[in-house]
Structure 1
Amino acid sequence: MVAHLLRLKLLLLRNGLRRSPWQVVGLLLALLYGLVALVLVLAGIAGLAVVEDVGLRRDVLVAGGALLVLGWALLPLVAFGVDATLDPARFTLFPVPRRQLLAGLALAGLVGVPGFVTVVTVAASVVVWWRQPQALPVAAVGAVLAVALCVVGSRATTTALAPALSGRRSREVVGVVAVVLAVGVYIGFGRLTQGLGEGVDVAGLRGLLADLAAVLAWTPFGAAWAAPADAAQGRWGTAAARLLVLAAAVAVLTVVWDRAMAHALVRPAASAPAGAVARGLGLLGRLPATPTWAVAARCLTYWRRDPRYALSVLVVPVLPVVLWAFGAGAYGVLATVPLAAFLLGWSVSQDVSFDGTAFWLHVSAGLRGRDDRAGRVLGVGLLLVPLLVVLAVVVALLTGSARHLPAVLGAALGTCLTALGVASVVSALLVTRVQQAGESAFTTRQGASLAAVVSQLGGMTVGLVLAAPELVLAVLAVAWSSAPLGWVALLVGAVLGGLLLVVGVRWGGHLLDRRAPRLLQALVTMR
């Protein structure tokens, strides 16, 4: 049965590649990324193998190994549902012994690019101890247990949390928390990089790494890589204790996974909460009853409830913080405001793609293209323009650049309105493969056409060129500390951006009147 499950995973992988050539391209790209990461890691391991300091080897391996194990445990929380080809719930109606199913799913979890990279990396870490042959058996045992911990921990996480994450809201909350944690790690790395560039005390960093490794070495995350160092130094009892901690963690997680799987096989997670009833029309019943406002209400509902749109909003606070983390000055942080404004405005270019086959409502109702374009722009404007104003004010005050606020507002308003206008035209020409409603917002759909990619890049380039006047005026106003020029930039941004927005809505509406059925046909084939 275990061998049959492995063959089933390989068969599903092969059939997925046969379905579309873009699946092959996606796999090759993933393999390329994995190989690049693997080469970098192997180069680091090779360099570490020639280091004579046993303590340094241990500390680096413990820190890196802990990140690897945590990645396997936390990644399913971010990309929940990415690989559900062998979901235990799919075997509910089959009389497969649970222990054999457990073993088969564990081995199948290593089939793929992440599993290949992990196995090779962990196996290569054993070679670090070639100078101390007595540590090699301990390192080999620790490597096997570490791989088992990665797989079992990942499967236990997804299976045990499946009932809690079956709802869309739960997945959104977990995804946002994971993004915040990732941004926090990124910021910390940026500040550390900046500190190294300014001459941080290397001895202090070495001490910090040693203290961190000393703590992780007694946890399942780092025990596998600390035990060989103990064996190399003759501390066999300590090495055995660390392996015992690791083996106990694998055993406990296996039991957790087994119990969670037993529950999942008997009571599969429901796709929607029982008794959920929609009341009222929401925004559709509160805004004016016109085609334009109906589209705006639907778009505002998407921005409030769809995690795919929520990721675009996260760009607003993240960009300035990331630039600050890597040591950008006040002017660099100010530049993130018009950049965030342009990206938020450009998000409309994928509105029709995010609609998916639901776009048939617009086509069958005979909605005018101009109303469609205006409604989408109105929905985004009601939500994002106030947000951008708040962002510009906060960033200007925190960076001590309040005098530059008119110039920053002019650049942000002009780029946002220009991006909305150009995006209204681009989204009426082509649709792209995006995450479908209900899918993880962190996954990437394969099969994007070259024409769609070129249209996105070309449209963004055109938008930036059209927004150049207010951007140039804003840069000059900030560089020369000219308040009058800043007000001119604000006026030019509002007037020119508004004009381009009107032109884009009218032109995009005209294109949509002619191409709506063709866009719907493309959306149906992309499912």
Structure 2
Amino acid sequence: MAVALTMARMKVAVLRHAFRGRRSETATTGASLGALLSAGTIYLAFVDPDLLAAGYAVWALGWMLGPVLLGGGDETLRPEHFATLGLPPRRLATGLLVAAFVGVAPLVSLAALLGLLVSGVRLGVANALVALPAMVLQLAVFVLLSKVFVALVGVTLRTRSGAVASGVLNGAILAALGQIWIFFVAFDQTGVPAAVWYLPSGWGLLAVRGDWWALAALAVLAFLLLGAWSALLGRRVGATRTSARGPRRPITASTAGGAIVARELRTWSRDLVRNHQLSFALSYGVCFAASPLLLDWDGMLPYAGPIFVVMAAGLTANLYAADGTALWLTIMVPGAGDVRGRQLAWLAAQAPVAIALTVAGTAIGGGPWPLVLALLPALLGGAAGLVPLVSVYGLVPGTDPHRRAGNPLRTSEDDGGLTGLAYAMLALVILAGAPAGLVALWAGWPGVAVGVATGALCYWGFGLLAERRLSSHGPELLHAMRTGRKPPTATRSRFDQLSNTRKSIAVWCFGGGAIPLIPQGIVATVFVAKDMRRHTWFLATYMPSGLGYPVAAGFILLGLAAYGTGLWAVRPRPSRH
């Protein structure tokens, strides 16, 4: 217990000194958004127990998949830091578990678990008393599920086959969550599935409602997960970095640009993180496009390739930061065409896969050939131009590759900045393909020419801007990689110049505006039109007859108002002079 309390105090001390500047803003925004989600979860306790059980299942999935997608989770205290103390694995795991309860995410989740207490109070005094240990055990299960899942992915990422398998699995899970409505329709499920009650995320609610065995089951599961995490920690701390790779054919090139392309292609073939990213994007594109086959509709298959390109661009948005402090080698050889070489290598790694997926999917689906052939070159060219451009303008300092041994997913210390960069890349690549897609929808085959032209223009123009940025701001980028922060002389973006209040408003509006606009507004309108009642979390489907459309319309207006408010927050202010 003394070790656990010491680690908890260490975590508090580190966080007290770390939450400054950008990290403080990210933590504040995350806490605010988490408080809103917690309030919504607690509200479900007053509405419908089934919805509350589904809500806790979503929280559990967030704890498991969130760290995988956002860079390896909380690594404030790393197991390697305590390797020389000789602590037994279970004692180390217990201490790190206690320390893991210190932070924004556990507090937000504990607030969401107050829904258990609300449900218990509504049922009786005994149920309310059971809710208190159920909250603690449920939170412990959430945290341990996250730790075990991240540790398993970290172990698999130490081999190429494991990295590929992990990427395929995670991409398939995320695609299934994005297309969850298809599974509900395919299996004639118009409400919350009864199975969510019997997932580990629902055991706390079962215990509160009178199934006392669920409380003991939570304790046993937490104990088993702690044992599994202890074993994985022992493997992580005791691992030594050895190279099992045999000799490779040497890289030969007649020009500097050719050497850069060869180096990047070698990196794409050997870097396990990039293997994971590529397989993740491939799995996501295929599974997302193939999910409607459950409804005997093959209309999305032609778009597997474009979806793959967009996802691959988002995952590689921080391209230059992947070099770590080795960026100085690039800066010391100006004029070598580094940006162009990386663009060619990115296309060589992604384009064959995208073309094969697009041609195969369109052939199976029977078209539309003009649209997909217009989108594909536009997206490929746009992504190949935007990836280096965004990575040099919005570089998020990354972890040097040789320091990823303990947790290969940990490619950056700033998860919030990395996530924002990925979302920005997704939006920009989609915008790059929009003109060609609109022309193809309106005029057909001329859209292909527009797609080729816009793709080539994006490739050349954005690459040129990235080259100029790298040449003029190379030392600043290297400083950011070495220290993890921008130099005092670095140019501040318009967003950086906003006040903290306006930053919070912009992040809230741009980040949360899609929820009322798309799922609760547009998608819910479709469900109401199809008379699909009491459908999972779509509020309009729970309204009495005649109120479904007004509620969905209200959410659409709310989403549009959120985006409008975000634009107002970031718009330039007139000078006082």
| TM-score, length of structure 2 as denominator length | 0.66
What per-residue deviation string (whole Å, max 9, x for no partner) do you get for residues 109-160 of structure 1?
211122112322334313213233343333444334333444455556667x
What per-residue deviation string (whole Å, max 9, x for no partner) do you get for residues 276-315 of structure 1?
3551345x24xx4321111111222233333257536644
Q: Does 1:33 align with 2:33?
A: yes
Amino acid at match of 1:356: G
- Shifted more, 31-40 versus 455-464: the winner is 455-464
Q: Does 1:368 align with 2:335?
A: yes
Cα deviation, residue 47, structure 1: 1.9
Q: Give secondary structure in 1 for the equivalent of 2:238.
A: coil
Q: Does 1:137 align with 2:100?
A: no
Whole-angstrom CA distance in 1 between matches of 2:421 and 2:53: 44
What per-residue deviation string (whole Å, max 9, x for no partner) do you get for residues 159-188 of structure 1?
7x5994582647734641552342254155
What per-residue deviation string (whole Å, max 9, x for no partner) do you get for residues 48-102 of structure 1?
3xxxxxxxx4x55555545555655666666674323333442233377888756
- What is aligned with 1:301? 266
Kept in 2, the 8 Å contact 1:418–1:497? The answer is: yes
- Shifted more, 297-306 versus 147-156: the winner is 147-156
Picking from 86, 90, 105, the partner of 2:81 is: 90
**Which of these two proteins has the greater Rg computed from alpha carbons?**
1
| TM-score, length of structure 1 as denominator length | 0.72
Kept in 1, the 8 Å contact 2:116–2:204? The answer is: no
Q: Give secondary structure in 2 for the equivalent of 1:92.
A: helix
Q: Does 1:14 align with 2:29?
A: no
Whole-angstrom CA distance in 2 between matches of 1:14 and 1:183: 34
Q: Does 1:147 align with 2:149?
A: no
- What is aligned with 1:42? 42
Q: Does 1:289 align with 2:254?
A: yes
Whole-angstrom CA distance in 2 between matches of 1:85 and 1:154: 15
Whole-angstrom CA distance in 2 between matches of 1:271 and 1:339: 38
Q: Does 1:272 align with 2:231?
A: no
Kept in 1, the 8 Å contact 2:289–2:303? The answer is: no
Whole-angstrom CA distance in 1 between matches of 2:306 and 2:65: 33
Kept in 1, the 8 Å contact 2:398–2:481? The answer is: no
Whole-angstrom CA distance in 1 between matches of 2:305 and 2:157: 36
- CA RMSD between the two structures: 4.5
Whole-angstrom CA distance in 2 between matches of 1:46 and 1:299: 55
Alpha carbons of 1:493 and 1:39: their partners in 2 closer, same or farther (altered >3 Å)? same
- What is aligned with 2:502? none
Picking from 314, 317, 322, the partner of 1:354 is: 322
Whole-angstrom CA distance in 2 between matches of 1:347 and 1:257: 28
- Shifted more, 292-301 versus 163-172: the winner is 163-172
Matches within 5 A, 1:128-527: 128-129=119-120, 130-152=122-144, 154=146, 164=155, 167=158, 169=160, 172-173=163-164, 175-187=166-178, 189-192=180-183, 202=190, 205=191, 208-209=193-194, 212=195, 216=198, 222-229=202-209, 231=210, 239-256=211-228, 263=234, 268-273=237-242, 276=244, 279-281=247-249, 284-285=251-252, 288-306=253-271, 307-308=273-274, 310-311=276-277, 314-315=280-281, 318-319=284-285, 321-322=287-288, 325=291, 334=302, 341=309, 350-364=318-332, 366-369=333-336, 371-401=337-367, 404-421=368-385, 426=389, 430-433=393-396, 435-436=398-399, 437=401, 438=404, 439-440=408-409, 445=414, 463=432, 468=435, 470-478=436-444, 486=445, 488-494=446-452, 497-498=455-456, 501-502=459-460, 509=467, 512-526=470-484
What per-residue deviation string (whole Å, max 9, x for no partner) do you get for residues 366-401 of structure 1?
3524x3233222212323332232222123123221
What per-residue deviation string (whole Å, max 9, x for no partner) do you get for residues 391-415 of structure 1?
22123123221xx425532432144
Kept in 1, the 8 Å contact 2:289–2:300? The answer is: yes
Amino acid at match of 2:482: V
Whole-angstrom CA distance in 1 between matches of 2:206 and 2:425: 49
Amino acid at match of 2:82: F
Cα deviation, residue 489, structure 1: 3.8
Alpha carbons of 1:47 and 1:391: their partners in 2 closer, same or farther (altered >3 Å)? same
Whole-angstrom CA distance in 2 between matches of 1:290 and 1:240: 72
Cα deviation, residue 37, structure 1: 1.4
Kept in 2, the 8 Å contact 1:78–1:174? The answer is: no
What per-residue deviation string (whole Å, max 9, x for no partner) do you get for residues 455-492 of structure 1?
9799769855xx83x444422344xxxxxxx2x44345
Cα deviation, residue 224, structure 1: 3.2
Amino acid at match of 1:526: G
Amino acid at match of 1:225: L
Whole-angstrom CA distance in 2 between matches of 1:128 and 1:85: 34
Q: Give secondary structure in 2 for the equivalent of 1:311.
A: helix
Alpha carbons of 1:98 and 1:499: their partners in 2 closer, same or farther (altered >3 Å)? closer
Kept in 2, the 8 Å contact 1:78–1:175? The answer is: no
Kept in 2, the 8 Å contact 1:431–1:522? The answer is: no
Amino acid at match of 2:111: V
Unaligned stretches of 5+ residues in structure 1: 49-56, 232-238, 479-485
Kept in 1, the 8 Å contact 2:156–2:163? The answer is: no
Cα deviation, residue 38, structure 1: 0.4
Cα deviation, residue 14, structure 1: 0.9
Whole-angstrom CA distance in 2 between matches of 1:454 and 1:77: 16
Whole-angstrom CA distance in 2 between matches of 1:298 and 1:106: 41
Q: Give secondary structure in 2 for the equivalent of 1:116.
A: helix
Alpha carbons of 1:6 and 1:259: their partners in 2 closer, same or farther (altered >3 Å)? same
Q: Give secondary structure in 1 for the equivalent of 2:218.
A: helix
Q: Give secondary structure in 2 for the equivalent of 1:433.
A: coil
Whole-angstrom CA distance in 2 between matches of 1:117 and 1:101: 25
Whole-angstrom CA distance in 2 between matches of 1:120 and 1:428: 36
Kept in 1, the 8 Å contact 2:321–2:391? The answer is: no
Q: Give secondary structure in 2 for the equivalent of 1:38.
A: helix
Unaligned stretches of 5+ residues in structure 2: 486-577
- What is aligned with 1:126? 117
Whole-angstrom CA distance in 2 between matches of 1:173 and 1:502: 32
Whole-angstrom CA distance in 1 between matches of 2:91 and 2:347: 55
Alpha carbons of 1:166 and 1:345: their partners in 2 closer, same or farther (altered >3 Å)? closer
Alpha carbons of 1:476 and 1:110: their partners in 2 closer, same or farther (altered >3 Å)? same
Alpha carbons of 1:521 and 1:452: their partners in 2 closer, same or farther (altered >3 Å)? farther
Question: Percent same amino acid at aligned positions?
Answer: 21
Alpha carbons of 1:26 and 1:311: their partners in 2 closer, same or farther (altered >3 Å)? same
Whole-angstrom CA distance in 2 between matches of 1:454 and 1:259: 35
Cα deviation, residue 508, structure 1: 5.2
Whole-angstrom CA distance in 2 between matches of 1:157 and 1:458: 29
Kept in 2, the 8 Å contact 1:224–1:242? The answer is: yes
Alpha carbons of 1:42 and 1:270: their partners in 2 closer, same or farther (altered >3 Å)? same
Cα deviation, residue 17, structure 1: 1.5
